[in-house]
Structure 1
Amino acid sequence: MLKANTTTTTTTTRDYITDGGDELVQQHLNRKLQSIHRFITNLILFMTSYLFNLLSPKYYYSNQQQQQQQQQQYTKKKSHPPDYYHYYTEPTTATTITQEEQIMTKQNKEFYEKVTASPVIIETEVECNKKHFVLALYPLALVMSVRDKKSSTSATATNSPPTPPSYIKMIHSSAITGTTLDGIVSTRVSLHTCVNTGDEKREVRTRKTLVLQFGNADAAKSFIDGVDSLLNALPSGHPKNRSVRVILNPKSGKRLAETIFKEVELLFKDSKMKVKKTITKGPEHAKQIGYKFKLNKYDTIVFVSGDGLFHEFINGLLARDDWEEARKVRLSLIPAGTGNGIACSLGLGDPMSSALACVRGGSRPLDVSVIKQDDQHKWASILSLTWGLVSDVDIESERFRSLGALRLQLGAAIRILNLRVYKGKISYLPALDTQKQDLAKIPKCTPSCDVCKSSDSVETMKNMLSNSQQSIVNGNNNQNQNNQISNGHHDESNNNNINNLNLSNTNGNHNISVDSTSTTTTTTTTTTTTNNTVETQQPQQEESIKQENNGDQQIQIEEPTLTSTSPSSPSSQPTLTNGSKVETRDIVVPLPKLPTEEGLLQSDKPLPSEWRTIEGEFIGFIASTVSHLSADFIASPFAHYSDGFIEMILIRHNPKISKFALASILTDAETGKHIDSPFIEHFKVKSLVLEPGKLEHREGILAVDGERVPYGKTSMECIRGCINLVCKAEY
């Protein structure tokens, strides 16, 4: 009996191993095969991306220019912009010139003469780094100079004019952030600056502190008062009287936001600004902050993140009941994400440059687009609406995020090799009825842009095009006159060539002006009849935003509580990194309250006669209000910050478009030269309606500011100057 039981037990165990063990082994083998398959797939995709870059026309250009740039790097001395540099007025063999020093050039000499032509604020002798200087503080710059003792003595003996200084160190006043008086030695002052250590093509700023030793306490105090007078003249006043709130996304981009803020925090501390820091815990948190924060507590909201967090905050800000007043709060974006399209569009792709712009407090209006699908789906867009090739690459390449910037190149290579063509219909209201080559004649946006500062951007652009066309016509007429006079006759028909440029007057939907120095908000509604344009302005006086004036700089860290997700955001339910859901409160952020034109999405209601329609097959579609969608993707190089227009870029399906041509378009987008491609169509529009079609009974991808949204009929309208954004200083 015992033997039989033992045999039975053994048989049962063997049966278990045979039945269950083989299944476990098979699962293990399947996992191994899947891992090998993924490795081979990634290797093939990597090689495909490499070949894509290798065969790209840009590769030949980059490879050809690479050796020249390397040679110039060693043979050409580093050129510093006029905000920080020091140089010798004459070449000398006794002194070794480092990378931060250079011989005075003609441009530097002109700037030095411009600085010294203005009245000096304070002039005294100081000691810095064990060297004696003559310090002179001017409105444009701080100048520290050293004169040759022999030349100075001979000039004094002969009563001749003083010789120019032999060595000069100059710091532009826009790089000065504050001063600190030593608590022990009353004659020692630390001058805090944020200087440009990059080149003319790229601005890269670094904190630098100069320790100045004055002869007496009165001279030190006079210098501090002089610097304070410069800081008091800033657009937002002295930084020590300001209160800012920092919203930081630790998961943004390469997760370097907290590292970036450590250096930014020191810069804010140099300027003695009062700072409160909030670390977000997941999606929708920034949206809830924008919906609930107190307006009278902070004069600036700073974002250390990418464009996604900024998109969330704007949608919460414009959903408030007091959004008309809330939208005037100053916003500052310090790039710490993957794309950083907004910061790059403002010329502030360097985090420290953005931080310095925040300290200086200069701001300007920025356009915002209202994107709507139905009563439950409405977004305030700061970047773009994309469909087709761009959105496919952006969204589908998320699985390769670990590859960094290479993921977009890899995604583009895959999508071009397996190209998708979408049927659809695009209706739009043109802002300027002109050709693509004529739009390139409009000057690009600058801090002193005439288009953005004008009350009527359409008329301003028309005048620019007319002046450009007039100069061409005058040149042609002069040449024709000379030829025709020599032939004995004269034809005046060419004098009217400028009238051939067709610029139509179209209506504007919404025009909201933001004045960073005034608290008056003007809402302009324009309606168009057949031949006349009627404009109605409704000025509304609003109270100014109160600022906390506290000279003591404080850093406060807030541990936030999340709320539930609202339908207006493309993000999913908030989750932590470990996958667990975040506890939320019973607060739902409503849809943005920005005005929209009724009837654009109604299929039974025809659009006005001024609208145009394009219907057919498309490869790609981009509608944006800024120039950059990312640091290396300049989608609309002629976009303006606040002209009230949407830049619409199309690629229609054409049998003549080869995969090589599409690759060239994407690589040229890094510099904005893709606009010159004959396959690219460029329009300036005020609003549009996109009706995307399906691809083989399968929906495509629509993306708003890089986030996927439901696929369907979508309208987009531009609100001019809707928000107030910190911009680059103009000097």
Structure 2
Amino acid sequence: MDQRRAEPDRNNSINPVSLYGEFTLTDNRKVRCAVSLTERDLIVQRLTSAPVGRSKVVLSLKDCVGCRAYLEDDNADPAAYFAAHFYPLRRRWVSSGVSRQRAEQCFRLAALQDPRANLEEAEKWARAVRERAARQQSLRRNGVLMSTLSRPSRMMLLVNPQSGQGQALTLYNNHIQRMLNEAGVTHTLVITERQNHARELVKEADLSQWDALVIMSGDGLLFEVINGLLERPDWAEAVRTPLGILPGGSGNALAASVHHYSGASLVSTEELLVSCGFLLCQGLVAHMDLVSIQLSSGPRLFSFLSMAWGFVADVDIESEKYRHVGAARFTVGTLVRLASLRVYKGKLAYLPASEDDHSEDEGSGNNMARHCNGQASSVAPSGDSPRQNTFHNSCHSNNSHKVRRTESTCKALGGPPDSLLPPLDQPLPSDWVVVTEEDFVLMLAMYQSHLAEDLLAAPHATSDDGVIHLFYVRAGISRAALLKLFLAMEKGAHLATNCQHLVHAKVRALRLEPHSPKGIITVDGEVVDYGPVQAEVHRGLARLITG
């Protein structure tokens, strides 16, 4: 074929070609291709008819995780090679949805007899692909992107080999190791050996060696890591270390949330792992809210996902015995608990989020410094629930109730001070809403979108909206109605059921006082001491590798 006819129009103002070349495929030297690189795409056009197949492939650079140039070990071969690695969204065979699937393009460059000259040309292509792919990632953030990880990145990858069905290491070997290598990410694999092992490691680690800490497990391991970071003397800097999540457990709520924030359609199991691995390789970093949890005993805890009491907490913990069935354990646990539905007595109160909070915290990604100086934390809600509008007329400034501490006290406590919470044994401020009902089926506080892979509990939540999404279900709901709620939650449609027993409010802080003598309270799926508990959101305190 005439090369002049194959060469694309370089003057296309919409997507002009910046590099053009003709190479053979690495795995079949009989196939010659015209390769064009634009600002947005890598375009591969076959110039030979054998073997029969698709003649043209267009791969979007926003789906590219890496590109490398190399020489083979064979000294007699003067050719150089470059390989580009993509994970585009493609339609699944078994359903109408789409998921990320690996696509690789490898080319052989042998125009010259000098291997070094061929390698130089291959490196020029690889560098150009990487640079344009990085620009595409930044462009599609549209001003939302906070930062990107440095390239090449150095990650500590913590894996719990016992999480989920005990398949975390196998999943790492089958998927993640190759993806990180393709993206040029240097990583050190750390296998946790016991409970709180990760917490101890990050408390003592030299964090300057790492660009990110990545957790491949269920949500419990990330809970350890976050609290370990906030127990360090240098917590204010340590908590800014970007955190990555790869699903390796049975719940995988944060991994499902990160996937959801990327705008992709629902996936599960290994497809979710590939999606989160792709986002990790891109290295885009956003802020993430953390919620401080005060118990009547022991030090504060910091939570990234949820706090639960009643039905949800019971199912989470009681379903541990079904861990061998993976994510289905929650379905089994739900059906078992529905068969003997419990009612829990207690008192619930909360500080509603209001539109006034948004102007206070506009553009604040660095409110840790204000926390340490004793300033008030402030949040920005993303709209109000109709159920809480009646409370906003009574809301007023909470300045008289703020907790003011010196910088030295702030550092000693580990983490920013709580500015909205009085001590647990003291009355609440007058602008808090007290729920009069004392009989509950459940209380659930969410600050990510997903409660599990298949439970979209807070569909409008984002990682840094500064809001706790509070849900509670009053006693009197039937088993059938409660089951209907959880089935609707699979698609985030539970609020649209208009269930009279379900209440949703966006809040900045809350307090729960259980009156039932026995019960379970969980924070990020971990059991905490049963008794009075209160919580406050700290907007954008942590960093999350997300889409």
Q: TM-score, normalised by structure 1?
A: 0.59
Q: Are the structure 2 counterparts of residues 219 and 597 from structure 1 closer, same or farther at C-alpha, using a change threshold of 3 Å?
A: closer
Question: Aligned match of 1:178 in 33, 45, 67?
Answer: 67
Paired residues of 1:248 and 1:277 also in contact (CA < 8 A)? yes
CA distance in 1, matches of 2:380, 2:190: 44
Paired residues of 1:193 and 1:208 also in contact (CA < 8 A)? yes
* Residue of structure 1 in register with 2:373 after alignment: none
CA distance in 2, matches of 1:672, 1:231: 33
1:643 partnered with 2:535: no
Structure 1 residue 408: Cα displacement: 2.2
* Residue of structure 2 in register with 1:138 after alignment: 38
Structure 1 residue 232: Cα displacement: 6.3
- Report 1:294-443 matches (<5 A): 294-347=206-259, 350-374=272-296, 376-432=298-354
Question: Aligned match of 2:132 in 227, 230, 239?
Answer: 230
* Residue of structure 2 in register with 1:63 after alignment: none
Residue 131 of structure 2 aligns to a residue in which SS?
helix
* Residue of structure 2 in register with 1:569 after alignment: none
Please tell me whether Structure 1 or Structure 2 has the larger radius of gyration of its CA atoms.
1
Task: Show structure 2 runs of 5+ residues with no match.
Answer: 1-8, 112-117, 138-146, 261-267, 357-361, 368-376
1:613 partnered with 2:434: yes
Paired residues of 1:506 and 1:528 also in contact (CA < 8 A)? no
CA distance in 2, matches of 1:344, 1:248: 18
Q: Are the structure 2 counterparts of residues 505 and 202 from structure 1 closer, same or farther at C-alpha, using a change threshold of 3 Å?
A: farther
In structure 2, give the amino acid aligned to 1:608.
Answer: P
Q: Are the structure 2 counterparts of residues 370 and 214 from structure 1 closer, same or farther at C-alpha, using a change threshold of 3 Å?
A: same
CA distance in 2, matches of 1:113, 1:413: 62
In structure 1, give the amino acid aligned to 2:59.
Answer: I
Residue 22 of structure 2 aligns to a residue in which SS?
strand
* Residue of structure 2 in register with 1:204 after alignment: 99
Residue 132 of structure 2 aligns to a residue in which SS?
helix
- Report 1:594-613 matches (<5 A): 594-597=416-419, 600-603=422-425, 605-613=426-434
CA distance in 1, matches of 2:380, 2:159: 41
1:284 partnered with 2:181: no
Q: Which of the pair is proportionally richer in helix?
A: 1
* Residue of structure 1 in register with 2:514 after alignment: 692
Paired residues of 2:343 and 2:439 also in contact (CA < 8 A)? yes
* Residue of structure 1 in register with 2:143 after alignment: none
- Report 1:536-547 matches (<5 A): none
Q: Are the structure 2 counterparts of residues 238 and 401 from structure 1 closer, same or farther at C-alpha, using a change threshold of 3 Å?
A: closer
Paired residues of 1:427 and 1:689 also in contact (CA < 8 A)? yes
CA distance in 2, matches of 1:598, 1:503: 17
Structure 1 residue 249: Cα displacement: 0.8
In structure 2, give the amino acid aligned to 1:710.
Answer: D
Over residues 444-500 of structure 1, what are the superposed CA-to-partner deviations in whole Å (9 max), with x where a residue is unaligned?
Answer: xxxxxx9998999967746xx89xx9xxxxxxxxxxxxxxxxxxxxxxxxxxxxxx9
CA distance in 2, matches of 1:403, 1:228: 41
Q: TM-score, normalised by structure 2?
A: 0.78
Deviates more, 1:288-297 or 1:193-202: 193-202
- Report 1:77-156 matches (<5 A): 117-128=14-25, 129=28, 130-146=30-46
Task: Show structure 1 runs of 5+ residues with no match.
Answer: 1-111, 150-165, 435-449, 470-499, 508-525, 540-589
Deviates more, 1:667-676 or 1:228-237: 228-237
In structure 1, give the amino acid aligned to 2:435.
Answer: I
Residue 715 of structure 1 aligns to a residue in which SS?
strand
Q: Are the structure 2 counterparts of residues 714 and 306 from structure 1 closer, same or farther at C-alpha, using a change threshold of 3 Å?
A: same
Paired residues of 1:366 and 1:720 also in contact (CA < 8 A)? yes
Q: Are the structure 2 counterparts of residues 114 and 172 from structure 1 closer, same or farther at C-alpha, using a change threshold of 3 Å?
A: farther
CA distance in 1, matches of 2:325, 2:124: 54
Structure 1 residue 355: Cα displacement: 2.1
Over residues 75-109 of structure 1, what are the superposed CA-to-partner deviations in whole Å (9 max), with x where a residue is unaligned?
Answer: xxxxxxxxxxxxxxxxxxxxxxxxxxxxxxxxxxx
Deviates more, 1:683-692 or 1:401-410: 401-410
Structure 1 residue 644: Cα displacement: 0.9
Over residues 179-214 of structure 1, what are the superposed CA-to-partner deviations in whole Å (9 max), with x where a residue is unaligned?
Answer: 132234454323131323543875533444322123
CA distance in 1, matches of 2:91, 2:192: 35
* Residue of structure 2 in register with 1:60 after alignment: none
Over residues 156-191 of structure 1, what are the superposed CA-to-partner deviations in whole Å (9 max), with x where a residue is unaligned?
Answer: xxxxxxxxxx94201111332121322344543231
* Residue of structure 1 in register with 2:263 after alignment: none
Q: Are the structure 2 counterparts of residues 249 and 298 from structure 1 closer, same or farther at C-alpha, using a change threshold of 3 Å?
A: same
Q: Are the structure 2 counterparts of residues 265 and 675 from structure 1 closer, same or farther at C-alpha, using a change threshold of 3 Å?
A: same
Number of positions where the alignment pairs a residue of Structure 1 with one of Structure 2? 473
Paired residues of 2:421 and 2:536 also in contact (CA < 8 A)? no
CA distance in 1, matches of 2:440, 2:422: 22
Paired residues of 1:628 and 1:634 also in contact (CA < 8 A)? yes
Q: Are the structure 2 counterparts of residues 330 and 238 from structure 1 closer, same or farther at C-alpha, using a change threshold of 3 Å?
A: closer
Structure 1 residue 360: Cα displacement: 1.9
Paired residues of 2:35 and 2:43 also in contact (CA < 8 A)? yes
* Residue of structure 2 in register with 1:674 after alignment: 494
Paired residues of 1:451 and 1:461 also in contact (CA < 8 A)? no
CA distance in 2, matches of 1:147, 1:415: 63
Paired residues of 2:420 and 2:536 also in contact (CA < 8 A)? no
Paired residues of 1:123 and 1:134 also in contact (CA < 8 A)? yes
In structure 2, give the amino acid aligned to 1:122.
Answer: L
Structure 1 residue 219: Cα displacement: 4.2
CA distance in 2, matches of 1:505, 1:298: 48
Residue 125 of structure 2 aligns to a residue in which SS?
helix
Question: Aligned match of 1:253 in 143, 164, 177?
Answer: 164
Residue 194 of structure 2 aligns to a residue in which SS?
coil
* Residue of structure 2 in register with 1:717 after alignment: 536
Over residues 495-541 of structure 1, what are the superposed CA-to-partner deviations in whole Å (9 max), with x where a residue is unaligned?
Answer: xxxxx99855957xxxxxxxxxxxxxxxxxx85479xxx9x9x99xx
CA distance in 2, matches of 1:224, 1:186: 18
CA distance in 2, matches of 1:640, 1:115: 38
In structure 1, give the amino acid aligned to 2:278.
Answer: L
Q: CA RMSD in A?
A: 3.6
Paired residues of 2:289 and 2:539 also in contact (CA < 8 A)? yes
CA distance in 2, matches of 1:268, 1:392: 38
Residue 495 of structure 2 aligns to a residue in which SS?
helix
Which is bigger in relative contact order (C-alpha 8 A, separation at least 6)? 1
In structure 2, give the amino acid aligned to 1:660.
Answer: A
Q: Are the structure 2 counterparts of residues 311 and 202 from structure 1 closer, same or farther at C-alpha, using a change threshold of 3 Å?
A: farther
Question: Aligned match of 1:190 in 70, 82, 87?
Answer: 82
Structure 1 residue 674: Cα displacement: 1.2
CA distance in 2, matches of 1:377, 1:353: 36
In structure 2, give the amino acid aligned to 1:667.
Answer: L
Q: Are the structure 2 counterparts of residues 254 and 645 from structure 1 closer, same or farther at C-alpha, using a change threshold of 3 Å?
A: same
Paired residues of 1:306 and 1:336 also in contact (CA < 8 A)? yes
Deviates more, 1:369-378 or 1:667-676: 369-378
